[in-house]
Amino acid sequence: MSRFVYADNAATTKITPNVLDAMMPWLTEGYGNASSIYSKGREALRALNEARETVAAALGAQAGEIYFTSGGSEADNWAIKGVAHTLAKKGKRHLITSVFEHHAVLHTMDSLRKEGFEITLLPVTDKGLVRVEDVAAAIREDTALVSIMYANNEIGTIQPIPEIGKLCREKGVLFHTDAVQAVGNVPIDVKEQNIDLLSLSGHKLHAPKGVGALYIRRGIVLPNLIDGGAQEKSKRAGTENVAGIVGLAEAIRTACTDIEGRAARVKKLRDRLIDGLLPIPRCCLNGDREHRLPGNVNISFEGVEGEALLLWLDQNGICASSGSACTSGSLDPSHVLISLGLPHEVAHGSLRLTLGDFNTVEDVDYILSVVPGVIERLRAMSPLWERIIANEK
C-alpha cells in the first residue's frame, strides 16, 4: 500500500505545531517593531530577549553571545570572513577547514583564497571523520581560524569537536563549528567544548526557513555583517524577524529538552533501516556507524544511478536525496562521498534517507518494502551493473 514518507530531514524539516503556535502571535497582532517605545514594540523586544536567552541556554552560552541571522549560510559566512578579515590585520592569513564541509563554508573559503588567504583543507578518514592529529599538524603561527563542522549533512558523521576545541584553545587559535546538523541532536556546550563561534539554522530543526544564529564568544569582535540600525548590537542591522526568531527558540528549546530520549527513538528507526537495507547485494553504508547522527542513513548501491532511484522513490511517495550528479546541477558526484575515497560510480549510486521526530516504524518498514525492488529493477536495466556482474565471474 502506498503512503507518503518524508525521509529528507537533513535537507529541511516540517514546522511543528508548538513552533507555529509560538510564532502566530508575532505574525498577527504582535506586529510591533522591537525598537519602538510603545508597549506593542516593547512586547516584541521582550520576546526577542527571551528567545535569545533560550537559544543561549541550550548551547551553554550567554544571551549576549547570540546573534540572530537569516540562517546557517549567513552565520558561516559571517564567522569565517569576519575572523579572517580581523586577524589578517595581525598578519594571520591562514585558515584550516576540512574537505567535506557544507558549501557555505567551502565556498566562503574559496572566496577568501581569491583575496589572498591561505586555506588548508584537511582530509577525512574513509569513515568520514576528521583526525585531531591532522588539525594539530596543520596549525601554524599565522593560523587565524579552524572551522570544522559538528556533524556532516550528507553522511551524518559526528566530528571530535570537544577534542578539536581543546586543541585550538591550547594553541590560541579561534575555533568555529558549523553545527547546523548537530544542534538538537548532539549535546552541545560551547564553554565546556571550547567553541569560539558556532552556526545554527532554524529549518533543520523544525523552525522556519530564513532564520538562524551565530554564537560569538564574548571578547571576540567581528566586523559588522550589515551596517544600518542598532539591531543585534549594531552588528547585523535590519528590523528583527520576531516571529522567526521566536520559532527558532521554541524549536531549539523542544529539541534540546530531551536530546537523549529523542535521539534514542530516532536511532532505533535508523538502525532498523540500515539493517534492513544492508542485505541488498553490493551496497555499503557511507560514514562511520557509531559516530553518526541519530537519523542519518547513507548507503551506496553499486550499478544504480542515484537520480533514477530518487525518481522511483518519489513515485512511491518517498522523499529522499542522493549524492549523485544532477540534483546539485553539476556532473560531479558529492564532494563528501568523494572525500571518503569512494569511486565516482559508487558515489553516484548513493541514497540518503534522514529520519526525524515525525518518522515511525511504519515509515521505515514501508521504505524497506519499496527500495529493494526498485534497486533490482534499476540494476536490470543498467549496463554498468551488467559489467559489474561480468567482472565477478
Ligand X SMILES: *Cc1c(COP(=O)(O)O)cnc(C)c1O
In the range 109-128, which residues lie near ligand X by CB under 6 A?
none
Closest CA to 79 of 62, 61, 91, 97: 97
Site string for ligand X, 164-183 (x = CB under 6 A): --------------x-xx--
Looking at residue 321, its amino acid is: S
Report in angstroms how near the CB of residue 211 gets to ligand X at its nearest: 8
> CA–CA separation, 59 vs 66, rounded Å?
10
149 in contact with ligand X (CB under 6 A): yes
d(CA 253, CA 260): 14
In angstroms, the CA 383 to CA 162 distance is 47
Question: Of 16 and 382, which CB lies nearer to ligand X in the complex structure?
Answer: 16
Which residues ranging from 240 to 269 are in contact with ligand X (CB under 6 A)? none
Q: Which is nearer to ligand X, 52 or 204 (CB)?
A: 204
CB of 179 to ligand X, least distance (A): 8
Nearer to ligand X, 225 or 370 (CB): 225
Which of 97, 108, 120, 153 binds ligand X (CB under 6 A)? It is 153
Minimum gap (Å) between residue 180 Cβ and ligand X: 4
Distances in Å between the Cα of 53 and the Cα atoms of 186, 252, 365 are 20, 11, 40
Please, what is the minimum distance in Å from the beta carbon of residue 175 to ligand X? Answer: 16
Task: Reduce the secondary structure of 297-356 to three states and give it as a string.
Answer: EEEEECCCCHHHHHHHHHHCCEECECCCCHHHCCCCCCHHHHHCCCCHHHHHCEEEEECC
- Does position 378 interact with ligand X (CB under 6 A)? The reply is no
How far apart (Å, rounded) are the C-alpha atoms in residues 211 and 348? 32
Question: Which of 77, 121, 106 is closest to 328 using CA atoms?
Answer: 106
Using CB under 6 A, pick the residue from 52, 81, 92, 102 that binds ligand X: 102
Nearest residue to ligand X, scored by beta-carbon proximity: 72
3-state secondary structure of 174: strand
Does residue 326 carry a catalytic annotation?
yes
Give the annotated binding-site residues for pyridoxal 5'-phosphate. 72-73, 153, 181, 201-203, 239
Q: Which is nearer to ligand X, 103 or 131 (CB)?
A: 103
Q: Between 202 and 333, whose beta carbon lies closer to ligand X?
A: 202
Q: Which of 201, 241, 354, 359 binds ligand X (CB under 6 A)?
A: 201
Q: Which residues of 147-179 are buried (b: 16+ CB within 10 A; e: fewer)?
A: bbbbbbbbbbbbbbbebbbbbbeeeebbbbbbb
Smallest separation, CB 183 to ligand X (Å):
10
Q: Which of 168, 256, 284, 326 is catalytic?
A: 326
Contact between residue 191 and residue 167 where contact means Cβ atoms under 8 Å apart: no
What φ, ψ does residue 267 adopt, rounded to 5°?
A: -60, -40
**Residue 89 contacts by C-beta under 8 Å, 6 or more apart in sequence?**
none
Nearer to ligand X, 178 or 196 (CB): 178
- Tell me the sheet residues that pair with 158: 151
Min dist CB 214 to ligand X, Å, is 11
Within residues 66-95, the interface with ligand X by CB under 6 A covers 71-73, 76
> Quick one: cell of 208?
522556519
Select the span of 45-53, 196-204, 275-283, 308-316 touching ligand X (CB under 6 A): 196-204
Q: Which of 104, 309, 320, 371 binds ligand X (CB under 6 A)?
A: 104
Contact residues: ligand X, CB under 6 A: 71-73, 76, 102, 104, 149, 153, 178, 180-181, 201, 203-204, 212
Catalytic residues: 326
